[in-house]
A and B are shown apart, each in its own frame.
Chain A
Amino acid sequence: MLGGYVGKMLEVDLDSGELKDLPLDEEMAKMYLGGKGLGLKLVYDEFRADMQPFDPDNLLVFATGPATGEKIPTSGRYHIVCSKSPQTGTVGSGNAGGKWGPYLKFAGYDVVIVRGISKEPVYLEIVDGKARLVPAPELWGMTVYAVTDELVERTGNPKKTSVACIGPGGENLIPFSGIMNDKYRTAGRTGLGAVMGSKKLKAVVVSGSKRVDPANPELLKERVADSMAKIKENPVTGPKGGLHTYGTAILVNILNESGAYPTRNFQEAYFPEADEQSGETLVDKYLTGRGGCWGCPIVCGRRSDVPEGPYSVRDTEGPEYETIFAFGADCGIKELDALIKANHLCDELGLDTISMGGTIACAMELVEKGKIPKEKLHGMNLRFGDVGSMIEAIWRTAYRAGIGADLSLGSRALAEKYGAPEFSMDVKGMELPAYDPRPIQGIGLNYATANRGGDHVYGYTISPEILGLPEKLDPYAVEDKPRWTIILQDLTSAINSSVVCLFSSFALGLPEYAGMLAAVTGFDLDADKLLKLGERVTNLERLMNNKYGLDRNEDILPKRLTEEPVPEGPAKGQISHVPEMIDEYYALRGWVDGKPTEEKLKELEII
């Protein structure tokens, strides 16, 4: 087999209970690498335009890549794809760190393909190359932390075991529930947890210790040393660098001072109390330690502790910048201890924090504007700044309790239900992340065109526009933003197919990734070829979305962001210019009205 691959996929048919080993197709691996690319290709080969999110044929694919579990820095990741997302109606897609990805490979598989629906709750166990389905009605209903502890204990080999599972959110088919691994790591977006829940698959337990040989170990060693040196000397990714010291929450003050910190459901873009929930405050008041994913020299994870007070929670992890924004400024809430609690609760219930926070913020605006009648709230004081209601809304959503049944629809359907669709801050049904696109033109174009909906890490233009990495782009300017957005989207598709962490790209570029991947796999790869592979992956995903009926009509931002200038703060008066950039974006992509042309698909060898 090729270097970097086990060469084996596990196919799980939950209808029949049958498990089957399949060989990994080498040509497919050369074209799509692994992770997101390989997962999409497997979905595409069985594509049905009439697929429904909870259809038994909706494939759920857990895919590692050739980098996963190798000595390549930040390679502790894997990607999950499903044929149809319950949240967006697009192909579903999510990525997570921790140790689950490497441990799947060590357990003997590159990929797990799940189809069908089990008659009763089960979990899948893969230990040292042996897979089995285990009936588990007793686990159904358990929260993420509890079921993870239970299943790790059952294997009897805790240090070599990792659990990916769903919580009550996934079981209850919440369209923005995630798949959680190692308790706190989340493939959070597009509702993959609900797809897993629909299949009655509670967890996938992996355990093993068989390492996968690279094609050229000496060359890999040399290239890893070069990349590791670049990561270590970089002021962002280095041992005492910004990410390690402060975590992603360091962005709170930076975005706020740039006038791009979405506040009160994107009604504003500056939150005067932001410093109280910043990365600096997190370090000063609640940080107890730092932790990293498997094989990561950056170590950006937070360990936090709130020992007392109404939002007390002990020895937890996080929160990330996105979570702080979603439950914080976006809900008009300043108290960081409450945001740590909200994050802990979402991880326990298996909910995506961005969509959960965005949905609560939307509901708060609906209440503020009199769209949700008081009697629907059953006493909840769901208004901006009300901490108790924000936290209560989370568990109510996971269990569809009271107003939680409405919140569980997500912001788009919620706002439509109450006659005010303009209050939903989403793209393609997925709630927007933590960067107001009005003063940052590239990120707006990325949100609008991202195949999985409102997604910042589809093409992270924040890196050049706000952080000045790898070069500086004026965030207010529209010139050249389509080209940059495309490069960053395709680079990210390549990174998610490798699979390594996007954060390594603050220090590394295509030449470093291509060099290490060539050494692992033996493939003929260079920077241009790897970017082309990323373009293939992005286009394949777009093609399937087109077949589901999506086109340029869905590549749009909420009207608030293209028609209502930022009202106050440093970016006062700014507005998103996506409508002015989108045609250039399509032309550069070789798309017409949001659809790749036949020529483009042939050029990329997709058809």
Chain B
Amino acid sequence: MKIHVKFLATIRQIAGVPEIELEIHPGDSVGAALQALQARYGTTFKEATTGTTTGGIPKVRFLVNGRNTDFLEGFETKLEDGDVMVLIPPVAGG
């Protein structure tokens, strides 16, 4: 099955494209999709999407169909065919 992945800000720069279709397996979670992306885009991408910054802020947050996965099941959030997953690095505005 396929999901739609969108990259924002610096993660878009690293990926080199704003969005892709990603083939995943039925039952795959956000964590599994991230691993697939890290395998596809290499070390810099992996570094930019793993762990937290010096101040303890996560390097990436995920939206699935508009919902922050922190309020779903986190990395365990199950994905379904046609889902939209967005990767957001730490940014802010006002």
Q: List A contacts of B63 (CB < 8 A).
A: 257-258, 570
New contact pairs (11) apart from A254-B91, A467-B92, CB-CB < 8 Å: A235-B59, A236-B90, A241-B91, A246-B9, A248-B94, A250-B9, A254-B88, A257-B63, A320-B93, A321-B94, A462-B94
Closest approach, in angstroms, between the C-beta of B48 and any C-beta of chain A? 11
Q: Is A275 an interface residue (CB 8 A)?
A: yes
Contact with A along B4-28 (1 / 0, CB 8 A): 0010111010000010000000000
Chain B: residues with Cβ within 8 Å of the partner, total of: 29
B54 pairs with A236, CB closer than 8 A: no
A-B CB pair tally, cutoff 8 Å = 109
Q: List A contacts of B61 (CB < 8 A).
A: 468
Contact with B along A504-524 (1 / 0, CB 8 A): 001100000000000000000
A242 pairs with B94, CB closer than 8 A: no
Q: List A contacts of B67 (CB < 8 A).
A: 476, 570
A257 pairs with B6, CB closer than 8 A: yes
Q: Is B53 an interface residue (CB 8 A)?
A: yes
Distance between Cα atoms of A332 and B18 in the complex (Å): 22
Interface residues, chain B, with chain A CB atoms under 8 Å away: 6, 8-10, 12, 18, 53-55, 57-59, 61, 63, 65-68, 70-71, 84, 86, 88-94
B91 pairs with A236, CB closer than 8 A: yes
A235 pairs with B55, CB closer than 8 A: yes
Closest 9 CB pairs between A and B? A570-B66, A242-B91, A248-B93, A235-B90, A251-B93, A259-B66, A474-B71, A235-B53, A236-B92
Distance between Cα atoms of A469 and B71 in the complex (Å): 15
B92 pairs with A469, CB closer than 8 A: yes
B93 pairs with A570, CB closer than 8 A: no
- 7 A-B pairs with CB atoms under 8 Å apart are A234-B57, A254-B88, A279-B93, A321-B94, A474-B70, A475-B68, A570-B84
Instruction: Find B8's partner among A243, A280, A477, A507 (CB 8 Å cutoff).
Output: A280
Distance between Cα atoms of A27 and B67 in the complex (Å): 49
Distance between Cα atoms of A235 and B10 in the complex (Å): 11
Q: Is A48 an interface residue (CB 8 A)?
A: no
Distance between Cα atoms of A476 and B54 in the complex (Å): 29
Q: List A contacts of B66 (CB < 8 A).
A: 257-259, 439, 569-571
A321 pairs with B93, CB closer than 8 A: yes
Q: Is A30 an interface residue (CB 8 A)?
A: no
Q: List B contacts of A251 (CB < 8 A).
A: 91-93
CB nearest to A251 among chain B residues: B93
Distance between Cα atoms of A254 and B87 in the complex (Å): 10
Q: List B contacts of A489 (CB < 8 A).
A: none
The residue among B58, B59, B93 with the most chain A CB atoms within 10 A of its own CB is: B93
Instruction: Find A279's partner among B9, B18, B54, B70 (CB 8 Å cutoff).
Output: B9
B55 pairs with A246, CB closer than 8 A: no
Distance between Cα atoms of A262 and B59 in the complex (Å): 27
Instruction: Find A570's partner among B10, B65, B90 (CB 8 Å cutoff).
Output: B65
A280 pairs with B18, CB closer than 8 A: yes
The residue among A249, A439, A472 with the most chain B CB atoms within 10 A of its own CB is: A472
Chain A contacts with B in 256-288, Cβ cutoff 8 A: 257-259, 275, 279-280
Distance between Cα atoms of A6 and B23 in the complex (Å): 65
Q: List B contacts of A245 (CB < 8 A).
A: 9-10
Contact with B along A445-488 (1 / 0, CB 8 A): 00000000000110010110001110010111100000000000
Instruction: Find B94's partner among A233, A257, A279, A457 (CB 8 Å cutoff).
Output: A457
Q: List B contacts of A456 (CB < 8 A).
A: 94
Q: List B contacts of A242 (CB < 8 A).
A: 9-10, 89-92
Closest approach, in angstroms, between the C-beta of B12 and any C-beta of chain A? 6
